[in-house]
Amino acid sequence: MISVCKELVIETGMLVPLLELFQSGDPMAQCHSCACIAMLASSESNRDSILVDGVMPLLALAKSYDPAVQLNAAWALLHLSHSDRSTRTLCQAGGIPVLVLLLQSSRSEVQFYSCTALCNIAAAPEHHPKLLSIGGHYLSKSLLTLMSSSVEKNAAQACRCLQTLSKNVRVQEHLMELNCVLPLKSLLKSSNTAWMQSALTLLCTLTAHPPNRDLFMSEGLLREVGRLLHRPSSNSALISQSCQLITGLCSACMDEQAVKESLCLSGLLRGLESPSLLDETLLHVTLCLRHLMNWEGLRTTLSTSVSPEQVWRLVQLSGQTRNPELSYNSAAVVHAFEPTESFLQLLRPHYSAVAKYLLLFLKRKDVKFQQLGIAAVDKLKNDGHFSTAVTDGELEAWLSQGHTGTEETRWLLRTTRPPSPSSG
């Protein structure tokens, strides 16, 4: 009903008198007419009519010294940024410099409207040259300043806009020069998951550029990510992005001590126990754990800190068949743990389940599953409890058949045999 009324206003010819009030010189009249145009522009069918004669006057009023007029003009410009055609017209009319200037407004609402409009414009790569052509990296400086705002929705929106623009390496380099770490760390402490996600998305983009990783590590970013993993509000998307960020930070500049001092390891293990996590997220968690366990010191720490519930969860995930990659990653984590007596005590109650998924691995045509299965058997064969669990002889029988796909697998099959039930 409201939409129909908005269309009737245009059809009855009220648009022209409303636009004429822009030129009245009366701030009150300009303020109210701007508010009317903003409401009309919220209807997509009205935007074409407003674009014809309304864009230039709106841009002029957006630079008004009257705060109320400026606010309503920014509101109207925001609505004009919601469709491709109106956005293109807005940019051609010189809207980008005006919107960037509005980021400096003393009113948080104006900042939010202009930043959101710039986000909408930045969503189309064709507008990036104009957005980045403003001298002295003025846009990225303004957005970074806004990202430090005490108004969290403004900070998050600025972060979202920077994330879209940061696909450009020059923007990344400039953000690092201006030390974007502190405002991003502040957003990670937000109570709003969407805003935390904006910060993580930008951090993942920046971390993909190897030179940035040392600075992030030195600024203690891992500690913030570890705290985030322990928050009850962390959802699948946040955990997945946290795993991506941890892997990125640790891929080239591994600082084992920094990882140990953060809460990342316990946070990743904790994530395994969440019943609400999607398979895709669990895949990220297990992949991140596999990556960290390449380092001996972290492998030792994980082997001594994992709980019985977490070991059982990994065994369960290894045996599920709906997602082969999740099964493989989970089994790889299980068999990356050091076979200390304390860890084996946690694994022994589940040897029957372990033997079942190892047999499934050995029967698969995919060589990497076969190799993991053989390596796992080789690792466990010295534990007499494992030989007791493999009582039906099927695992031993399969290995003795010599199924193989590569020379490496053939060698493993020749050198690896499951223990006999009587050994140990």
CATH classification of the domain holding 136: 1.25.10.10
d(CA 340, CA 324): 28
What is the percent of the chain where pLDDT is above 90? 40
| pLDDT tens by residue, 66-122 | 899 899 999 989 998 988 888 999 999 999 999 999 999 999 999 999 999 999 999
Q: Six-digit token pair at 52?
A: 């014809």
Does pLDDT of 419 surpass 60? no
User: pTM to 2 decimals?
Assistant: 0.80
Residue 420: its pLDDT value, please? 39
The verdict on residue 97 lying in a domain is yes
Q: At what angle do helices 308-319 and 351-363 cross, to 10 degrees?
A: 30
Task: Please say which residue of 141, 165, 189 terminates a domain.
Answer: 165
d(CA 109, CA 72): 10
The verdict on residue 191 lying in a domain is no
Residue 179: its pLDDT value, please? 84
The verdict on residue 276 lying in a domain is no
Rounding to the nearest 10 degrees, give the CA dihedral for residues 208, 210, 214, 220. 10
Does pLDDT of 418 surpass 60? no
Number of structural domains (the chain) is: 2
Task: Please say which residue of 165, 196, 224 terminates a domain.
Answer: 165
Residue 392: its pLDDT value, please? 59
Mean per-residue pLDDT over the chain, rounded = 84
Contacts of 49 (CB under 8 A, 6+ apart): 10, 15
Residue 405: its pLDDT value, please? 47
Q: Six-digit token pair at 143?
A: 């957005």
CA 337-240-217 angle, to 5 degrees, is 75
d(CA 251, CA 245): 10
The verdict on residue 184 lying in a domain is no
Residue 14: its pLDDT value, please? 63
Task: Please say which residue of 165, 185, 206 terminates a domain.
Answer: 165
The verdict on residue 212 lying in a domain is no
The verdict on residue 338 lying in a domain is yes
Domain extent, residue 71, equals 1-165
Helices (H), 123-192: 128-132, 138-147, 152-165, 169-177, 181-188
**Predicted confidence band at 16 (pLDDT cuts at 50, 70, 90)?**
low
| pLDDT tens by residue, 213-250 | 888 888 889 999 999 999 887 889 999 999 999 998 88
pLDDT, average across residues 132-138:
81
Residue 39: its pLDDT value, please? 82
The verdict on residue 281 lying in a domain is no
- For residue 82, count other CB atoms closer than 10 A to its CB: 15
Please choose, from the candidates 284, 394, 296, 300, the residue with its C-alpha nearest in 3D space to the C-alpha of residue 340: 300
The verdict on residue 284 lying in a domain is no
d(CA 237, CA 2): 36
pLDDT, average across residues 385-393:
71
CB 122 within 8 A of CB 109: no
Is the same domain home to 11 and 157?
A: yes
Does pLDDT of 308 surpass 90? yes
Does pLDDT of 202 surpass 50? yes
